[in-house]
Homo-oligomer: A and B are copies of this chain.
């Protein structure tokens, strides 16, 4: 599977790329700046020897990939996604984006659409098969590729095949996938990240996460 990570030069994108490369996937790091993407891809390749890791523009990353993963900041969606519409047509697009605003009265600040994932769906149009996932997996945990991640993978979206594929991408890094319904649940899923960020600050952690209890 070729996974294109849009905005992939940040901590979360590189952490996901590392885990997927380790699991045997081809990884394409995308960035507004293709030079920066190539530099980060080279760094990442040093951590995952023998894996195919490339860097290119966001548009080329999306066009080349089988599945597109969004790790841009929430404030960057409106500037980044419109030019990816054609590249994302018919593809599964995984939004990991969390609308947080630090330093304001409220940490969780979803857009009028209800969630960053729903904003992404609107910007990419209906041919993109948007699934929301990976919001709670701390970059700090992802980049420490040598130990298991103690966090469940909450997934929502309208596309059953997309959720199945995202479940496999999660299992490939040792996560337990949990299907949490349609994209209208993306807001509450994204909101959990605000809680984890608050818990990290109050309890001086880098890697709090969540698990669902009561499942068989």
Contacts and interface: CB of A to CB of B under 8 A. Distances in A.
Interface of A: 105-108, 114, 138, 150-151, 154, 178-181, 184-185, 187-189, 191-192, 194-196, 198-199, 202-203, 205, 207-216
24 contacts: A106-B114, A106-B184, A107-B181, A108-B185, A138-B214, A150-B213, A178-B199, A180-B198, A180-B202, A181-B202, A185-B194, A187-B191, A188-B188, A188-B192, A188-B194, A188-B195, A189-B195, A191-B191, A199-B212, A203-B216, A209-B212, A209-B214, A210-B210, A211-B213
B210 A205 contact: no
B179 A202 contact: yes
Contacts of A187: 108, 191
**Chain A binding surface SS class:** mixed
A181 B198 contact: yes
